[in-house]
Amino acid sequence: MPGTHVPARAGVVLTALLMAAAVCNLTTGGASVALPDIAGTFDAPQTTLNLVALGTGLGLAMTVLYAGALGDRYGRVRLLCIGLIGLLIAGTAASLAPTIEFLMGARVLTGIAAGCAFPTTLALITALWAEGPARVRAIALWTATGAVATVAGSVISGALVVAFGWRIALLLPVPVAAAALLIAARAIPRGVEESVEPVDHLGGILSVVAVAALVLGLGVVFAPGETGVGAGLLVAAAVLIAAFAARQLHVAAPLYDLSIARRRLFWVPAVAGTLAFGALVGAMFVGQQYLQNILGYDALQAGIALIPAAIALLVCAPLAAVLVERGTRMAMIVGYVVLIAAFGTMLAWNETTPPVIVALAFALVGGGASFVMTAASRSLTSSTPVRRAGMASATSDLQTDLGGAVMQALLGAVLAGGFSHVFAGLIAASPEAASLSDDITRALQASYASAAHVAANNPAYAAHILEAARLSFVDGAWAAYLVGAIALLLGLIVVGVGLPGVAVEKELRGRYRDEDALTAP
């Protein structure tokens, strides 16, 4: 019966899918907490550190659309296993990186492997669980697991950084990937309602390059001296996205069916979920550095500070599942109000912010993201035919991957630009400015870690340099959180205006099912 069907050994199958989703998200959380130590190892500037942290999100974001279609056509479980094997290899390579450039490359490859695995997890839930409360509960668990894993990655990685160094911390996803691979290969049913349509490989390649250009462009456009490169990448991204859309409108079997994407219950939750999860990742990215550079936390303490976010995600997941049954619009509005309150709290952070305020901010971020992401994932999957489950799953993954990558790139770029701008002003106002070489000036403006390195080599001026670095970082972080809050306000407007009430929502879902039945091959 519709709404009651679940797969055989449902508990084992769901465990395998949740473990796979968890390992994909563990890969994104570990690098942020290790950034200060990575910066110390390679003496890297802030923009380079942003790209290290961004690497996995970049690889995920640029891969999931193409991978979702490949899974629908050639086997979701097969692609899941390929992705998990790739995570074993790429995670090990990242931990052995001899240079910062090698580390960036390994992080991107880690993201590409996760991009092969991650879309199949939600697609398999959609295919194996019929529409109804059981699927909503499974999606709520999937949402909470992925987000909690992102937070837990920072917490556990922080402990590993303190105890063993950042290289061991980057190995964290490897044993989890191995366990997920063993269970998934044995337990998950194959071939359930997969597509027989050919894959649009040219469209897939266009999507990969377009998303890569978009994320990288946002990552460097605000960085000192990189504005031209960033702007060029963003222009290229716009052209490639237009070419991808034109391709999808005219190809017989589109990779991304724009007739489905235009549905009101598809595109609005997609946009809203992207901004919400991006807020979670961006808050963690800037917050982790703030806690260590400004509040004096070590890597373990900074990781522990995120535990309230994980608790809120878990506590709010069942509440979100109940609220979603009463309407996607209501659940998303509740989530957005909570997220905006979180960023408002972070805007009030300063050099004396107590731990309870830090905990409150992260708890609000986690709780708000749980409501929005559960509602978005459910709306996407129930607005898409099961044979195109990879498209819905890929879009849901893009919410987390592209949203996280874009917000991390954007907030990281604002942080780097704000830091450099404020420090440049402090240097110009200093009576010692004329005696500073160009190399020293660039090093002071590159990142907090770089300024601290200059301070260590110039003990007579160390106190002044570190104070200037703190002032610059606080101002840069404030600007980043302000940008995040503005993005969330825009998302709340999109939800309030774009989503219907519960009665119209039910009517639309019935209409979508009728349309999909008529167009099924």
Report whether 509 contacts 327 (CB < 8 A): no
CA dist 91 and 326 (Å) reads 41
DSSP code for 386: G
Angle at 43 between CA 38 and CA 49, to 5 degrees: 55
Instruction: Summarize pLDDT for 369-382 with one digit per residue, the tens.
Output: 889 988 888 888 78
Q: Residue 301, exposed/middle/buried by CB under 10 A (0-12, 13-18, 19+)? A: middle
Report whether 394 contacts 65 (CB < 8 A): yes
Q: Which of 25-34, 133-142, 174-183, 396-405 has the highest mean pLDDT?
A: 174-183
Q: Which two tokens stand for residue 507?
A: 């009517």
Least confident of 5-9, 57-61, 343-347: 5-9
Q: pTM of whole model > 0.85?
A: no
How confident is the model at residue 3, as a pLDDT?
Answer: 41
Least confident of 42-51, 207-216, 364-373, 471-480: 42-51
| Helix axes 100-128 and 76-95, enclosed angle (nearest 10) | 160
Q: Which domains, from first to last, does the chain contain?
A: 10-425+466-519 (1.20.1250.20)
Average pLDDT, the chain: 82
CA 285 from centre of chain: 10
Confidence of residue 493 (pLDDT cuts 50, 70, 90): very high
pLDDT at residue 7 tops 80: no
Q: Which two tokens stand for residue 189?
A: 């049913």
Instruction: Summarize pLDDT for 101-142 with one digit per residue, the tens.
Output: 899 889 889 889 988 888 888 888 888 887 777 887 888 888
Q: Which two tokens stand for residue 129?
A: 């669980």
Q: Residue 312, exposed/middle/buried by CB under 10 A (0-12, 13-18, 19+)? A: buried
pLDDT at residue 345 tops 90: yes
How confident is the model at residue 442, as a pLDDT?
Answer: 67
pLDDT at residue 322 tops 80: yes
Instruction: Summarize pLDDT for 292-302 with one digit per residue, the tens.
Output: 888 888 877 88
How confident is the model at residue 521, as a pLDDT?
Answer: 57
How confident is the model at residue 250, as a pLDDT?
Answer: 85
Q: Which of 389, 521, 404, 405 is nearest to 68 (CA)?
A: 389
pLDDT at residue 21 tops 60: yes
How confident is the model at residue 1, as a pLDDT?
Answer: 35
End-to-end Cα spacing for the chain: 23
Which has more pLDDT, 354 or 409? 354
Torsion sign over Cα 116, 122, 127, 128: positive
CA dist 290 and 421 (Å) reads 18
How confident is the model at residue 4, as a pLDDT?
Answer: 47
Confidence of residue 29 (pLDDT cuts 50, 70, 90): low
E strands along 95-226, which residues? none
Instruction: Summarize pLDDT for 454-465 with one digit per residue, the tens.
Output: 777 777 767 777
Calculate mean pLDDT across residues 87-107: 90
Calculate mean pLDDT across residues 466-477: 78
CA dist 413 and 278 (Å) reads 14
Instruction: Give buried/exposed letters for 378-417 (b at 16+ CB in 10 A, else e).
Output: bbbbbbbbbbbbbbbbbbbbbbbbbbbbbbbbbbbbbbbb
Cα dist from 321 to 137, 315, 428, whole Å: 6, 11, 55
Q: Compute φ and ψ for 363, nearest 5 degrees.
A: -65, -40
Calculate mean pLDDT across residues 294-312: 84
Cα dist from 160 to 30, 75, 215, whole Å: 10, 36, 29
How confident is the model at residue 443, as a pLDDT?
Answer: 66
Least confident of 16-30, 86-100, 219-233, 421-435: 421-435
Angle at 95 between CA 92 and CA 99, to 5 degrees: 125
Percent of the chain exceeding pLDDT 90 equals 17
Q: Which two tokens stand for residue 282?
A: 């961006």
| Helix axes 173-187 and 76-95, enclosed angle (nearest 10) | 160
Instruction: Summarize pLDDT for 219-263 with one digit per residue, the tens.
Output: 677 666 677 888 899 999 999 999 999 998 888 878 788 888 888
Calculate mean pLDDT across residues 470-482: 81
pLDDT at residue 169 tops 80: yes
How confident is the model at residue 166, as a pLDDT?
Answer: 85
pLDDT at residue 57 tops 90: no
pLDDT at residue 285 tops 60: yes
Question: How many helices and strands (H and E) does the chain possess?
Answer: 20, 0
Q: Residue 196, exposed/middle/buried by CB under 10 A (0-12, 13-18, 19+)? A: exposed
pLDDT at residue 438 tops 70: no
Q: Which of 324, 314, 214 is nearest to 274 (CA)?
A: 214
| Helix axes 307-324 and 355-382, enclosed angle (nearest 10) | 40
pLDDT at residue 357 tops 90: yes
Q: Which two tokens stand for residue 19?
A: 């473990």
Cα atoms in the Cβ-side hemisphere of radius 13 Å centred on 65: 29
Least confident of 31-45, 156-170, 422-436: 422-436
How confident is the model at residue 5, as a pLDDT?
Answer: 73
Which has more pLDDT, 482 or 131? 482
CA dist 345 and 452 (Å) reads 28
